[in-house]
């Protein structure tokens, strides 16, 4: 008989959970005992594979199509999760995009797209999840170590959006503290995902540990923040980047 995990009986929703860090987080939460819903936009097959992994861990899983730029889709994803599992204990906000461009030439369209998903979408996901989270629930956002630095040319807008998330969680943490809900932000450095495939090698020499992270390493920190033992930490941004932002 499998021993109960630290998250046994919990229900989680991972926004942007079909691949990369989001999929790794969904799998890890399931391995620790949680039932997990995840949202996806452009990778239905990858979403299905992640749900299969969740079910392979003995937990219930569901994939929900939801564009993080659409408020009604975000709210619907939360509602569907509660309908499926009967509650919501953990929300992981991972949806985000990376579009590089020199500040002198970045288009208004790219600026608006990044702000819409990386800032507005995160706010709306936190807001929607907060309406349904149980007492003592967890909200975990996935930011970036570039929130404290522009790591390379062309990252100024992306860094700005991630810095906004780091500040956002501070206010959300205060607002939700009376319900025992914690809100924390993980700031990964370069991680091997589809999003970083085109420029990870150029960044590698800048990392003191001389390697990029595996998504499962970030997922381990997500799992810790979801557990009971992290309950006194809130409003924090935790950087996990191989020493890159030192």
pLDDT digits (tens, 9 = 90+) for 39-84: 999 889 999 999 999 999 999 999 999 998 899 999 999 999 999 9
pLDDT of residue 151: 61
Please measure the distance between the N-terminal and C-terminal CA atoms of the chain and give it in whole angstroms.
45
Per-residue pLDDT, averaged over 175-179, amounts to 98
Residue 195 has pLDDT above 70, yes or no: no
The answer to whether residue 65 is catalytic is: no
Confidence class of residue 1 from pLDDT cuts 50, 70 and 90? very low
Q: What is the distance, to the nearest Å, from the Cα of residue 73 to the centroid of all Cα atoms in its chain?
A: 17
Per-residue pLDDT, averaged over 144-171, amounts to 87
pLDDT of residue 95: 78
Q: Which residue has the higher pLDDT, 3 or 38?
A: 38
Indicate the average pLDDT of the chain. Answer: 93
122-215-70 Cα angle (round to 5):
25
In CATH terms, the fold of domain 11-240 is: Rossmann fold (3.40.50)
Say which of 40, 65, 158, 232 is annotated catalytic.
Answer: 158
Report CA-CA distances (Å) from 49 to 82, 83, 176: 22, 22, 34
Per-residue pLDDT, averaged over 79-102, amounts to 94
Per-residue pLDDT, averaged over 74-100, amounts to 95
Compute φ and ψ for 12, nearest 5 degrees.
Answer: -125, 150
pLDDT of residue 100: 84
Per-residue pLDDT, averaged over 206-234, amounts to 95
Residue 184 has pLDDT above 90, yes or no: yes
Residue 194 has pLDDT above 90, yes or no: no
Domain boundaries, the chain: 11-240
What span, in angstroms and rounded, lies between the C-alpha atoms of 116 and 95? 11
Report CA-CA distances (Å) from 219 to 21, 106, 140: 7, 32, 11
Per-residue pLDDT, averaged over 229-243, amounts to 96
């Amino acid at each position: 008989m499998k021993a109960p995990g630290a998250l046994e009986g919990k229900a989680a929703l991972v926004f942007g959970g079909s691949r990369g860090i989001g999929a790794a987080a969904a799998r890890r939460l399931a391995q620790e005992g949680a039932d997990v819903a995840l949202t996806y936009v452009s990778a239905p097959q990858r979403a299905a594979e992640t749900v299969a992994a969740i079910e392979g861990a003995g937990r219930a899983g569901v994939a929900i199509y939801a564009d993080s730029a659409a408020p009604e889709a975000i709210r619907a994803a939360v509602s569907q999760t509660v309908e499926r599992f009967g509650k919501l204990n953990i929300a992981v906000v991972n949806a985000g995009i990376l579009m590089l461009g020199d500040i002198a030439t970045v288009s208004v369209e790219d600026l608006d797209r990044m702000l819409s998903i990386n800032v507005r979408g995160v706010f709306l996901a936190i807001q929607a999840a907060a309406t349904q989270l149980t007492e003592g629930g967890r909200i975990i956002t996935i930011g970036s170590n570039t929130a404290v630095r522009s790591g390379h040319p062309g990252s100024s807008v992306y860094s700005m959006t991630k810095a906004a998330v780091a500040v956002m969680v501070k206010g959300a943490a205060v607002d939700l503290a009376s319900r025992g809900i914690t809100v924390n932000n993980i700031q990964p450095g370069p991680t091997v995902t589809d999003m970083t495939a085109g420029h990870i090698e150029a960044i590698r020499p800048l990392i003191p540990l001389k390697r990029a992270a595996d998504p499962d390493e970030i997922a381990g920190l997500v799992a810790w923040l979801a557990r009971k033992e992290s309950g006194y930490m809130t409003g924090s941004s935790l950087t996990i980047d191989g020493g890159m932002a030192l």
